[in-house]
Amino acid sequence: MTAPTPNAPPPTMPAHTALLVIDVQYGFMPGGGLPVADGDAVVPVINRLVPHFANVVITQDWHPADHISFAANHPGRQPFDTVTLPYGPQVLWPTHCVQGTRDAALHDELRAPHAQLVIRKGFHRDVDSYSTFTEADRTTTTGLAAYLHARGITHVVLCGLATDFCVAWSALDARAAGLHATVVEDACRAIELNGSLAQAWADMGAAGVVRTTSAALLKI
C-alpha cells in the first residue's frame, strides 16, 4: 500500500460505518493465479472511497499450497470442477494467493494507510473461506463480526473481488450478523461462473443488501 495523500480531507461517512476492502490482491488481477476480468480497475475506485471512511478493514485470501480448494491437489480434476467435501459443494480453483507469494500480496497501488485491521482467510487447509466473516463450513468464524460489534460499527460498505464470491458471501454474512450492508458495484468485479453473478445479486437483494455506485455513495 502506498503512502496517504498529504492534507487529505476528513472522513465524511458516519462513524458507525466501516469500509470492507475485500481481496484486492495480485492473485485476482490480470496475470494472477485466479484472474478476475478487469480486476485491476477496482483499485482507483476504492482509493477514492477510502479517505471518506474513518474505519477500514482489509481482507486477504491466504492459502497454504496444499489447500483443499485447489484443483492441483485433486488428481484427475480440473479448475472449476465441483466436488463434494464434508462441508458441502466446493468449486476447485486454480492455485492462487499462496501464503507469502507475490500472488497473495495486496495491490501496490491500493491506498488505505489508516486501515485498522487486516483479516486473512482461507488459511485452514481443509476448508475454503469466501466470506470475511464465516468460513465455508459455516461454523468457523474469522472474528470480524465480534470486532465490528465491539467497535460500535453497525453498517459495512463492501468493495473488492470478486462480486459473486467473496464480496457476496461477506455481504450476506454481514446481514446475518445484524449489520446493514451496502455493495459498491463499480468498486467490484465478478468471476462469473455459470450465472454466479446474477445469483449473487439476487441473493444479496433478498437479504436486504443495498446495491449502489461510488458516485451515489459519495454524492459526487
Q: Which residues pair with 21 in a beta bridge?
A: 58, 159
pLDDT (0 to 100) of residue 4: 47
> How does residue 189 score in pLDDT terms, banded at 50, 70 and 90?
very high
In the residue annotation, 23 being an active-site residue is answered as yes
Q: What gap in Å lies between CA 169 and CA 171, rounded to an integer? A: 5
**Pairing mode of beta strands 88-91, 180-189:** unpaired
The two counts, helices (H) then strands (E), for the chain are 5, 8
Q: Which of 40, 61, 121, 128 is catalytic?
A: 121
**Cell 475506485 -> residue:** 45
pLDDT at 220 over 90: no
pLDDT digits (tens, 9 = 90+) for 114-165: 999 999 999 999 999 999 999 999 999 999 999 999 999 999 999 999 999 9
pLDDT digits (tens, 9 = 90+) for 78-118: 999 999 999 999 999 999 999 999 999 999 999 999 999 99
In the residue annotation, 159 being an active-site residue is answered as no
- pTM confidence score: 0.93
In the residue annotation, 97 being an active-site residue is answered as no
> How does residue 7 score in pLDDT terms, banded at 50, 70 and 90?
low
Domains delineated in the chain? 17-63+99-218 (3.40.50.850)
Q: What gap in Å lies between CA 130 and CA 191, rounded to an integer? A: 13
> How does residue 9 score in pLDDT terms, banded at 50, 70 and 90?
low
**Pairing mode of beta strands 180-189, 210-212:** parallel
- % of the chain residues with pLDDT over 90: 94
Q: Which of 97, 159, 166, 188 is catalytic?
A: 166
pLDDT (0 to 100) of residue 219: 87
Residue 98 CA: distances (Å) to CA of 27, 37, 95, 153, 220: 9, 20, 7, 31, 38
Q: What angle do CA 117, 120, 126 make, to 5 degrees?
A: 155
- Residue range 46-62: mean pLDDT, rounded: 98
pLDDT at 185 over 80: yes
What does pLDDT average to over the chain?
A: 95
Q: Which residues contact 185 (CB under 8 A, 6 or more apart)?
A: 163, 211, 212, 213
pLDDT (0 to 100) of residue 71: 98
